[in-house]
Structure 1
């Protein structure tokens, strides 16, 4: 049997690389979305923590001075 066109293995490899590239693009998009969601969650938690700290500080200010 005659050998197939010598460029065929190269074409197959390029096609596999293109499929892998598309998979990596999808994965990267999903990861970027997760990063955005986690960043928003982190910012929200930081904001809530800051508000809680402010409330605690306000309560501490209202406590009587016990050093008399």
Structure 2
């Protein structure tokens, strides 16, 4: 009977250790996810700014179709 209780105690201790390990891993993954989401938002912002700059530069280019008719 004592051996069974000792074995059960060991298994419960293993489960508790596993639970603590999984909670720590979950916290780490949540931090990594938050960092990845922040990086994604920053990259989207930079892409939007670059797109706006390209659109502004494209708007400043002369219209070549008008020049081809007069040539």
Considering the TM-score relative to the shorter chain, is it more than 0.5?
A: yes
| Alignment RMSD | 0.9
- Which protein is richer in helix relative to its size? 2
Provide structure 1 residue ranges, at least 5 long, that are not aligned to the other structure: none
Map residues 10-25 of structure 1 onto 2, 5 A cutoff: 10-25=8-23
Partner of 1:33: 31
When normalised by structure 1's length, the TM-score is 0.91
Q: Which runs of 4+ in 1 moved over 4 A?
A: none
1:15-52 C-alpha deviation (Å, 9 max, x unpaired): 01100110110011001000000100000000000000
Provide structure 2 residue ranges, at least 5 long, that are not aligned to the other structure: 67-71
